[in-house]
Amino acid sequence: MTSTEQPIRIGIIGAGGIVKTRHMPGLRAIPGVQITQVTNRSVASAEAFCREFAPEAKAVARWEELASSDEVDVVWIGTHPYMHAEMTCYALQHGKHVFTQARMAASVPGANQMWEASIRYPELVTAICPAPHGMKGGELVKRLLAEGAIGTPHQLLLHSFNDAWLDPQAPAHWRQLSDLSGIQILTLGIYTEVLQHWLGHIVEVEARGNVVIPERAGVEVDIPDFVNVMAKFRSGIEATMLFSGVAAHAPTDKLWIFGSEGTLSYDFNTDDLQLGKRGGKLESVEIPTEMQRSWTVERDFIAAVRNPSAPRPRPDFGEGMNYMRVVHAVWEAMESQAAVKVR
């Protein structure tokens, strides 16, 4: 183990599917990373996780105990959004670096608390799990737009449809319940994060949405099953963004950006990037290997913890605030049925 690979002790709060399938393989691949403590919905489930994924760790009953433990350097939060703000602020106050699962928080005030706490403790590394959508070709998309490959962009269309919530007999998913998910709606926050990274800030929205199946097994659903959003970017680009969890035979998640000299499209399921000049055909563009960004989330976070001069992982809490404000504005626009400025 080199001097830059000093042991990093991680405490996991919320050991669900995303932690098991995505984060644990990444963490296990980093020399010197140790999982020391785990807390979950119950001690029994935390113990089961430890047996399967981290036999060196111990299960603890209370997340506060983990987040203040002398045996933990990094608090890795995998819980639902409604717990992120309280856990993050508590962990930072106790000197822990914090990685939190997306979406950032249940509300803008909660996200703001996290952001302000990260500013108060600049020596501690904080980050939100990034959206993997468009990760492979995003840098090429930005370069093509900057080079004027489609002239001046003026309009975009995004659709993100699936039928995951179409069965009325299926139990309510936690993402459909505001008590757990807060203001998050479908993949709205994910694609807002991606598009603002590529195209700049959204400054105004209009929106209509609806709950198609209002009750599931006696549980009231209060997050829309679909939402249609009209958005304006600071650059002047006008966007139509359509999201649905009740669309049978839905097309793939896809983006089109229309400009004065052509069109750029991106298929988020296949990472197929296509470019067409005015009067010509859309044709696939190969993404150069050196521009392809792969999943290095865990490695990047640990590198920043070990080395204060290393790049800070992204998205940071400031970038999280940017998409949280847009999601909040969408709710305001649905309620008022009028255009709402993003504040």
pLDDT at position 4: 52
Both tokens assigned to 305: 């913890």
pLDDT at position 202: 98
99-109 burial code (b ≥16 CB/10 A, e <16) = bbbbbbbbbbe
pLDDT at position 2: 46
3-state helix, strand, coil in the chain (%, to 5): 35, 25, 40
**Residue 114: helix, strand or coil by DSSP?**
helix
Q: Domain limits of the chain?
A: 3-129+296-313, 138-294
In this predicted structure, the answer to whether residue 332 has a pLDDT above a threshold of 80 is yes
221 confidence band (pLDDT: 50, 70, 90) = very high
Query: Which CATH entry fits the domain spanning 138-294: 3.30.360.10, 3.20.10.10, 3.30.1020.10, 3.40.980.10?
Result: 3.30.360.10
* Element at 183 (helix H, strand E): none
pLDDT at position 3: 43
Tens-digit pLDDT profile for residues 234-275: 999 999 999 999 999 999 899 999 999 999 999 999 999 999
Tens-digit pLDDT profile for residues 174-215: 999 999 999 999 999 999 999 999 999 999 999 999 999 999
d(CA 115, CA 125): 12
Tens-digit pLDDT profile for residues 103-158: 999 999 999 999 999 999 999 999 999 999 999 999 999 999 999 999 999 999 99
Give the mean model confidence (pLDDT) for residues 293-312. 97
312 by Cβ neighbours in 10 Å (0-12 / 13-18 / 19+) ranks as middle
CATH 3.40.50.1100 given to domain 3-129+296-313: no
